[in-house]
Amino acid sequence: MRWWKMLGLAGIMGVAATGVVIARAERRRRAYTPEEIRTRLRERVNDQPEGLKS
């Protein structure tokens, strides 16, 4: 029965680690100014092949 406890603990730690990763990504995403976002999106559109641009 002890391995169930270890499995549960590992699951809880995995969920916590995932939450940390998501929080960091969200913080990084919100750090951009609207102008930086526009610039990055325009660069991505310009890097696409001609047939994919809309």
Sign of CA dihedral 29, 31, 36, 37: positive
Of 54 and 11, the structure prediction assigns the larger pLDDT to 11
pLDDT digits (tens, 9 = 90+) for 5-37: 999 999 999 999 999 999 999 988 888 889 999
Whether 41 and 32 have beta carbons less than 8 Å apart is answered as no
Task: State CA 26 to chain mean position distance.
Answer: 7
- pTM over the 0.85 mark: no
- Residue 31 to residue 25: CA distance in whole angstroms: 10
What DSSP character marks residue 48? S
